[in-house]
């Protein structure tokens, strides 16, 4: 077991000073070529690598960024992480992933433990707990300390910072419009509870599309699911209402609907069109495969990382904040009819 070699040890071996070694390794013009060669050879021989921690302490940069997400067992977030990872790695940053598990407390704890030097900046998607509580003091605190923060997907207007959001409203609008054009007359919506920002935007898009198509909005066709009784609530929708189109705000709701449709011998897409938000593996592998609103999670991740690192590395800090809107796209598969 050979321990890591330090500048000091190299310096002692070669009988030069620590600073000479440090500078030699950086090809400083202050150091003679001979010495540079000698030091480099020795460093390579002993496989010298600078200690990241010491470097971080010195220049108050860690080259780490933290990503705080509500859940990792969720296709959208893993896509985002992949995107963040890719961009961050390309620019020499490591990614620390923390899970809030949709819990306000854990989100706060996570941020506090990391904000003390471990990282240079945050990328966060708010937990349900935080959105419900509307308590953003931990975000404010971090920003006040001068640490850049980027929010994505689940954002809030109450905090000023860089943001990356999905064009949820337009995504829903386009999905509904597509169904209308393909012949649907009564389109239902399965969405989440109200405190979730994205659900609201999607609901709005849904309503606008219906209005523009001259179809009256029927509140009985809108069901807000509380996660726990998903199957039951969908069952109720099918039992009490008639409809020939269905927009679901995530793929879980959509496959549940697909299942219910099959039980009732409703043919998809002949008798019922279904479109799901988020193009995950479920949608891609269901039967029939689902037409989806792709949110481009990977791109969201890349963009978030870019915004954050740009801010970290920007020379003068003109602190104006940007909001990037990532366009959705409709992926037509087998659960809808062609227009």
Give the footprint of DNA on this chain (CB under 7 A).
Answer: 4, 6-8, 15-20, 22-23, 25-26, 30-35, 48-51, 54-55, 57-60
Residue 259 binds to a second copy (criterion: CB under 8 A): yes
Closer residue to DNA, CB minimum distance, 55 or 325: 55
Q: Quote the CA–CA distance of 237 and 38 in Å, as a whole number.
A: 77
User: CB under 8 A: which stretch of 144-152, 214-222, 223-231, 268-276 binds a second copy?
Assistant: 144-152
Contact pattern for a second copy over residues 308 through 327, marking x by CB under 8 A: --------------------
Q: Which of 226, 117, 211 is nearest to 169 (CA)?
A: 211
Query: Is residue 113 close enough to count as binding a second copy by CB under 8 A?
Result: yes
Beta bridge partners of 292: 276, 331
What are the respective helix, strand and coil percentages of the chain, to the nearest 5? 45, 15, 35
Q: How far is the CB of 194 from a second copy (least distance, A)?
A: 26
Q: How far is the CB of 283 from DNA (least distance, A)?
A: 48
| Residue 265 touches a second copy, criterion: CB under 8 A | no
Complex with DNA: residue 148 or 301, whichever CB lies closer: 148
Q: What angle do CA 72, 78, 314 make, to 5 degrees?
A: 110
User: What is the chain's Cα-based Rg?
Assistant: 26
**Residue list 24-53, contact with a second copy (CB under 8 A):** 47, 49-53
Q: Which of 37, 287, 325, 327 binds a second copy (CB under 8 A)?
A: 287
**How many Å apart are CA 77 and CA 227, to the nearest integer?**
18
When asked if residue 181 is in the footprint of a second copy (CB under 8 A), the reply is no
Q: Which residues pair with 164 in a beta bridge?
A: 152, 324
* Residue 312 burial (10 A CB sphere; 0-12, 13-18, 19+): middle
Cis peptide, bond prior to residue 288, ω within 30 of zero: yes
Task: Note whether 188 and 149 are within 8 A (CB).
Answer: no
Region of 32-40, 89-97, 155-163, 271-279 interacting with a second copy (CB under 8 A): 89-97
Burial status of residue 296 (CB atoms within 10 A of its CB: 0-12, 13-18, 19 or more): buried
Classify burial at 109, counting beta carbons within 10 Å of its beta carbon; exposed 0-12, middle 13-18, buried 19 or more.
middle
Give which of DNA, a second copy, none residue 286 binds (C-beta under 5 to 8 Å, depending on kind).
Answer: a second copy
- Which C-beta is closer to DNA: that of 12 or that of 262? 12
Question: How near is the Cβ of 317 to DNA at its closest, in Å?
Answer: 18
228 near a second copy (CB under 8 A) = no
Stretch that binds a second copy, among 21-29, 68-76, 161-169, 215-223 (CB under 8 A): 68-76
Site residues for a second copy per CB under 8 A: 1-4, 47, 49-54, 56-57, 62, 64, 72-73, 75, 78-79, 81-82, 85, 94-99, 112-118, 141, 144-146, 252, 255, 258-259, 262, 281-282, 285-287
């Amino acid at each position: 077991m050979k321990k890591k070699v330090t500048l000091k040890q190299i310096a002692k071996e070669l009988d030069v000073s620590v600073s000479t070694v440090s500078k030699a390794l950086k090809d400083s013009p202050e150091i003679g070529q001979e010495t540079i060669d000698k030091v480099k050879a020795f460093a390579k021989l002993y496989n010298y690598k600078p200690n990241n921690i010491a470097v971080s302490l010195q220049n108050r940069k860690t080259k780490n960024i933290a990503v705080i997400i509500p859940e990792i067992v969720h296709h959208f977030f893993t896509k985002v992480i992949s995107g963040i990872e890719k961009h961050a790695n390309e620019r020499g940053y490591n990614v620390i992933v923390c899970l809030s598990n949709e819990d306000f407390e854990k989100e706060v704890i996570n941020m506090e433990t990391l904000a003390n030097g471990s990282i240079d900046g945050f990328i966060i998607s708010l937990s349900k707990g935080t959105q419900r509580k509307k308590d953003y003091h931990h975000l404010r605190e971090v920003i006040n300390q001068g640490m850049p923060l980027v929010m994505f997907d689940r954002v809030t207007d109450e905090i000023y910072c860089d943001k990356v959001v999905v064009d949820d409203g337009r995504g829903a609008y386009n999905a509904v419009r597509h169904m209308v054009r393909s012949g649907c007359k009564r389109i239902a919506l399965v969405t989440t509870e109200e405190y979730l920002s994205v659900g609201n935007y999607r609901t709005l898009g849904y309503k606008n599309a219906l209005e523009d198509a001259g179809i009256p909005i029927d509140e009985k066709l809108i069901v807000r699911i509380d996660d726990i009784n998903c199957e039951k609530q969908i069952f109720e929708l099918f039992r009490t209402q008639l409809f020939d189109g269905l927009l679901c705000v995530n793929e879980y709701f959509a496959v549940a609907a697909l299942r219910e449709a099959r039980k009732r011998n409703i043919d998809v897409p002949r008798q019922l069109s279904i479109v799901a938000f988020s193009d995950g593996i479920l949608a891609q592998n269901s039967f029939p495969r689902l037409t989806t609103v792709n949110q481009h999670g990977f791109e969201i991740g890349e963009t978030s990382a870019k915004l954050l690192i740009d801010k970290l590395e920007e020379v003068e800090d003109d602190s104006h904040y940007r909001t990037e809107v990532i366009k959705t796209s409709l992926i037509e598969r087998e659960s809808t009819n062609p227009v």
